[in-house]
Each structure stands twice: as structure tokens, then as C-alpha cells.
Amino acid sequence: MTQDAIEQAWDAVVGTARRTVTDGLVVGTSGNVSARVGDLVLVTPSGVPYDRLTPADLVAVDLDGTRIRGRLAPTSELPMHLEIYRRTTARAVVHTHAVHATAVSALVTELPLIHYMAAALGGPVRVAPYALYGTEELAAHVLRALDGRTGCLLRNHGTVTYGDDLDQAYDRTAQLEWMCRVWLTASSVPGLAPSLLSAAELDEVAEKFRGYGRPR
């Protein structure tokens, strides 16, 4: 692992964090982004506006959460990020407080199958039960909701997705927010209920994706 690789990964973390603000997925310093480089996890710091982050603000921890580099405290959601890295193949994690996804998380225990892109996240998107932010309890809830999935909702909180890189993790976040918006829009029409896909229809999509390339 070279210094250049770490610096490039940090640039990508900062760029992705700023994108969450630009695209309206977070407000202020809410949400957080991380990337794994070898045995290090580069993560956004706590309480610092993303537009103020510089190369000197790099924060890196090991998989036990010990700070290896940087002077700033890592995000309060570090337990959730680390548990995902320890238990999955994740190389990048994006957590947001996206409006439509957060609204859906307060209504259902699983996002209804409103669109076939749920297959790109591994199947029906679950809602992790509520727990105080930044706790090991929340991290455990999230890990269970992610079983066989690459994204989930957090009850009354937001979203978390992971991927092989930050682009993939971010694309999955954006896709999840879009699906939540579609379901909320369709279900808000008086007197009508949206049609939903069956599990068999979603399985058919998942099979087609396997021959299509990497869904993002």
C-alpha cells in the first residue's frame, strides 16, 4: 500500500462525500463515506463540512477502529462502517439521510418491489430496526439487514450501501433513493395501489443481470 494509493483514496472519499451534499442526499455534516485500502479504512471525520476537507484532514483507522492517521475524530458511525468491512466484501461504504429513503424507512419493514433495480442490491431492500446512531447495536441491525444485500434502509434514519469501489457504492445509494421516491409517488395516488413485482420476476431480473455485466 503506497502513500499515493492512500491519497487517491482520500480524494475519492472527499469527492463522494461532497457529491452526497450536491445531490441532496445529506444536509450539513450528516451522513458519512469510507473506503478500504488494504487494512486501513479512510473515513470522513465527525462534524466537519465536506467542502472544508483538505488532504491534511485525512482520517484512517484499522479494522479494530484504532486511529492510525489523522488528527480529527472519525465519524460517529464508525462502528457501522467497520462491521460492514469486517463481515462483507465491501471496499467502500456510503451512508446518507436521503429524504425519500428515510421517509420509507418510517413506513415499512421492507421496500415494496416497485422496480426491478432492487435486484441490483441483491433483492428486496430491508429496513434495519431503529437504534441510537453510532452504536454497536445499530451496526448489528444493519449487518443483519444487509445479509445477501448490498444496501438497506435504517429505520427513521437513512440508507447505507456498499460496493467494490466508491462509484458503485454511491450509484447503489442513488438507485435506492430513486426507488423509494418512485414507491412513495405511486402509493400516494388516492384510490389506487401500485403494482409490485413478484419474487419470481425479481429472480428473473437477477439472472439477466448476471449475464449483463456489473449492475451499479
Contact call for residues 152 and 96 (beta carbons, < 8 A)? no
Q: Is 77 a catalytic residue?
A: yes
Query: Which of 77, 136, 137, 207 does the annotation list as catalytic?
Result: 77
- Quick count: other Cβ atoms within 10 Å of Cβ 18? 15
Strand partners, 92: 35, 163
Query: Which alpha helices (H) appear in the chain, and where do they start and end?
Result: 3-22, 78-87, 99-105, 136-145, 166-187, 199-210
Strand partners, 40: 37, 62
Distances (CA, A) of 164 to 74, 94, 151: 22, 12, 13
Positions marked catalytic: 77
